[in-house]
Structure 1
Amino acid sequence: MRQIVLHMGVSLDGYIEGPHREIDWHVVDDELHQHMNDELGAMGAFLHGRVVYELMADYWPTADADPAAPAIIREFATIWRDKPKYVYSRTLQEAGWNSTIVRDVVPEEVAALKAEPGGDLVLGGAGLASAFLRHDLIDEFRTYVHPVLIGRGKPLFPVFDGRLPLQLLETRVFGNGVVRLRHRRVREAG
């Protein structure tokens, strides 16, 4: 069965974007970008919220049309454009590039999507991740901690009641100082 994998960059103090939606503090070099291409290229589909989808759709569908674009950028443009996408939105009326609009996070529908053949499902966006967390639908967390404190902004994880036990599976330090933490959701047997 496919897994739901949260895949997000975060500042050391836990934010995915600054107070004005800025993400210019992300430290992405060729090594990290190639890692992302390899990781995301192996996934079966993207699960995006509207905000993430619109951000991606503003750039990636035609990023490889620029002859001056580096090969690593052209590679990811193809990955994003060709990969199936499920866009969770109550307001978006249409979405292109192999996308399906889904109105609500319904656990039974997510279970059916996980049961389909193919690679794991990559989840992006703090709002959508919050909805998936409320339903305990995230199987793995891959966070990329950037070496910066930004002080305020949008946190990756919302405040929630309870505890979510995780097991550290792997760490990786990139040359630019970004640290990848890979955790699996620990579930009770039975």
Structure 2
Amino acid sequence: MRKIIYFMSMSLDGYIEGPDRDIGWHQVDDDLHRAYNERLAAMGGFLHGRVVHELMADFWPTADQDPASAGPTAEFAVIWRNMPKYVYSRTLQRADWNTTVVHDVVAEEVMALKERPGGDLALGGAGLAASFAALDLIDEYWVYVHPVLIGRGKPMFPLSDTRTALRLAGTEAFGNGVVELRYERAEKPSAH
């Protein structure tokens, strides 16, 4: 069965974006972008909320046509265009670029999506991830910690009363100071 992987960059103090959706502090050089491309190209689909999807759709469909976007940026444009995308939105009625609009996060529908053949599913966006987490649907967390404190913004993990045990599955440090942390769900204790 496919896994749902919450794939996100955050500041050291836990934010995915600063005020006014600022992500200018992300330190994505070619080395890190190549790693993103390698991991995301192996996925079977992207799961995003409307805001993340619209931000992606505003840039990636034609990014490889800009001569300034050579190398890994141009490569990701192709990955993004070709990847099946599921955008969760109660207001969006249709979307382009190989995208299916889903109006609500329904556990049974997500489980059916996980049972389809193909690669794992990359989940992006704190609000959508909170909805998936509330239904216990996230299998792994791939967090890219950027070496910066931004002070305030949108937290990667909204406040919750739920405790989720995780196991470190791997790490990688990049030359620009970004550290990748990959966590898997810890096995649930069996009832005796």
> 1:128-167 counterparts in 2 under 5 A?
128-167=128-167
How far is 1:189 from its partner? 5.5
Which amino acid in 1 is paired with 2:36? Answer: M
Which amino acid in 1 is paired with 2:41? Answer: G
User: Which residue of structure 1 aligns with residue 173 of structure 2?
Assistant: 173
CA-based RMSD of the aligned residues comes to 0.9
Task: State the TM-score, normalizing by the size of structure 2.
Answer: 0.97
Deviations 1:76-104 (A, max 9, x none): 00000110000000011210000000000
Count of paired positions: 190
> 1:22-171 counterparts in 2 under 5 A?
22-171=22-171
Distance 1:20 1:66 in 2: 26
Deviations 1:160-186 (A, max 9, x none): 002100000111110000000000012
Distance 1:68 1:10 in 2: 26
Deviations 1:45-94 (A, max 9, x none): 00011010000000000111123421211110000011000000001121
How far is 1:21 from its partner? 0.9
In the alignment, structure 1 segments of 5+ residues that lack a partner are none
Which amino acid in 2 is paired with 1:107? Answer: A
Percent of residue pairs bearing the same amino acid type: 65
User: Which residue of structure 1 aligns with residue 17 of structure 2?
Assistant: 17
How far is 1:151 from its partner? 0.4
Distance 1:99 1:14 in 2: 29
Distance 1:114 1:28 in 2: 30
Which amino acid in 2 is paired with 1:129? Answer: A
Task: State the TM-score, normalizing by the size of structure 1.
Answer: 0.98
Distance 1:70 1:81 in 2: 16
Runs (4+) of structure 1 exceeding 4 A deviation are none
Distance 1:128 1:162 in 2: 16
What SS does the corresponding residue of 1:58 show, helix, strand or coil?
Answer: helix
Distance 2:63 2:162 in 1: 42
